[in-house]
Structure 1
C-alpha cells in the first residue's frame, strides 16, 4: 500500500499494524504496551509480574479474578480539590496505594478490567485510566490486557477467588508532568494550526446532551468517541488496526500535529492517549486532564452545540 494513499503518518500506522502481532506491543521502550490473553497465560507465573485487577466493584474481584491479581480500584486516583471534583489525589496517597498493591516501577504490571460478573457494570475504561496513571506517576513497564478479563475467559483462562499474598513495595511516585496539558496552556494553543483537539465523549454528549451546566463541546474539538475505537462486543478490546487506521485518517489525526485528547473528566481521553502515544507512537500527544469539566467551569468560555467542531466557533469566540 503506497504512502500517497495516506495522510502523513500512514506508513507508520501500517508498521503498527504489523507490530501488533508481536506482544508486548509495540516494540521499543514505551511505558505502556498491549498484551494478549495467550501472552499472559504464558507469563502468569513470572516471579516479577504483578497483575492488577481494576474491575468496577470489589465484589466483582471477590467473585472472580485472574490468578494472582491484586485489586486496586481506580477510585484511589482522584479526589475533590478545593471543590473541583476530578483532581488527582495527592501524590503521597497514590504512592502508598501502589506500594500496598506490591507494584515496583521497573517490574511489569498487567492491568485489566471487564464487565463485572457480580455488579454487571464496567465499560472498559478502568484499564486505560489505571495504565495512564501508573505511567504518569513513574511506572516504566505497564501492560494492558487487550480485551480484559472477558477476553481472558473467552480464551479459556483460569479464574480464582484466592487473594494473593502481596508484600508492600518501595514504589516512589515521580510524576511525569509532560503527559498532561494544563488549562492555561490548553487555552493558549488549542486553536493553533499545528494542533488537533479530540473529544472522546459519546457523540450525543459532544452535541449537547451532557450533564454539564454548559452543553456541547469546546470550540474546534473533533468528535472521536472512544467507544468507536473498541470492539462492538467488548469495550476493553481494541478494534483491528485496519479499522483504527481508517477512523484516524477520517478524523485528520495527523502525527505531524500536536494531538490533545479531551473528554468530560479526563478519563475517557486516556483511551485515546494510550492508543496514540504508546501504541501508535505519535510524537506529540497530550491529555487535558481537566477536560470539559474544567473548561465549562469558567462561565466566559465559549462552547458549541451540534455535530460540527467549528460551526459556531467564530460567533462563540466574540466578546460578550
Structure 2
C-alpha cells in the first residue's frame, strides 16, 4: 500500500499521493484526529520486528497528519500488562476527506543527500545491523556502507531485546546517542537499507528528542548502490565526528 516499484527501482518509492490519500480516506483518517499506531508479533508466525509502527507513523506525518502517537511496546506490551481490554470486532469506519499534503522537509532526495552528506555539520546514520554495515551480508549488489563517515547505529540497539517495539529507558538512549556522536546541533540524516529501519531513528530523534534538523534518506543504501560509480566501504564503524549532543 505505501511503497511500489518505480521504473525498476525496488521498494524505496512511495505510492503516488492519490493512492496514499485514498488509502487514508478509506481508513477513516482525518488529519487533525489523533491516531495511535501499534503492531506486534503474529499470533501464528511469531514474526514482527516492530518497525511497522514507526514506518506507518512516519508515513502519516509525512503526508499531512498532525497528531500521531506510537504505542511504545506495541500490542505485546499492552497484553503483558494485564487487565487491558482487547477486542476482535472490526470497528465501523466512515470514509474521510483526508488531503495528502507532503511535508517535503522530512525526506531528503538523492541529489541533495550527495551534495550535503560529507559536510562537517551533518551526521549520517545507518540503522542496519553491524554485520551488514560492515559488508558481511545483505541482499545488495555491493556490500558495505556509504562512505566516508556514515555512523552505524543499529535500530535494534535502541529497543528492548525482548520487545523490539519498545524503546529502552531514556538514560540508556542518552548514552547510546552520545556514544555515537548524534549531535543535536547538526543535521542528522537517517538511513538504512530501504528507508524502513531509518523511520525508527527518525521518529525517535525528531519527536521524542526534538532534534531541530532531522531528515530521512528514503532511498537509502538500495538507491545508493543503483548508481554503479558510487563507492561503498567495508569494515567496522567509523569514529563519530566531534560535537556534543
TM-score by length of 2: 0.94
Report how many residues are paired. 235
Once residues 99 and 230 of structure 2 are traced to their aligned partners in structure 1, the CA distance between those partners, rounded to angstroms, is 38
Which residue in the other structure is 2:113 paired with?
Answer: 186
Q: What's the Cα RMSD here?
A: 0.9
Give the counterpart of 2:4 among 79, 91, 103: 79
Map of 1:3-82 to 2, 5 A cutoff? 76-82=1-7
Per-residue CA distance 1:191-246 (angstroms, 9 max, x = gap): 11000100000001101111100100001110000000001110000000000000
Q: Secondary structure at the match of 1:179?
A: coil
TM-score by length of 1: 0.72
Structure 1: segments with no counterpart, 5+ residues: 1-75, 311-320
Q: Which has the larger radius of gyration?
A: 1
Deviation for aligned residue 1:118: 2.5
Deviation for aligned residue 1:309: 3.2
Which residue in the other structure is 2:100 paired with?
Answer: 173
Once residues 207 and 176 of structure 1 are traced to their aligned partners in structure 2, the CA distance between those partners, rounded to angstroms, is 33
Structure 2: segments with no counterpart, 5+ residues: 240-245
Deviation for aligned residue 1:161: 1.4
Runs of 4+ aligned residues of structure 1 deviating over 3 Å after TM superposition are none
Once residues 264 and 308 of structure 1 are traced to their aligned partners in structure 2, the CA distance between those partners, rounded to angstroms, is 16
Give the counterpart of 2:185 among 256, 259, 265: 256
Matched, 1:135 2:64: no
Once residues 111 and 25 of structure 2 are traced to their aligned partners in structure 1, the CA distance between those partners, rounded to angstroms, is 33
Matched, 1:108 2:31: no
Matched, 1:224 2:149: no
Give the counterpart of 1:125 among 51, 67, 71: 51
Deviation for aligned residue 1:160: 1.6
Once residues 308 and 101 of structure 1 are traced to their aligned partners in structure 2, the CA distance between those partners, rounded to angstroms, is 42
Give the counterpart of 2:163 among 220, 234, 240: 234
Deviation for aligned residue 1:166: 0.6
Once residues 97 and 85 of structure 1 are traced to their aligned partners in structure 2, the CA distance between those partners, rounded to angstroms, is 21
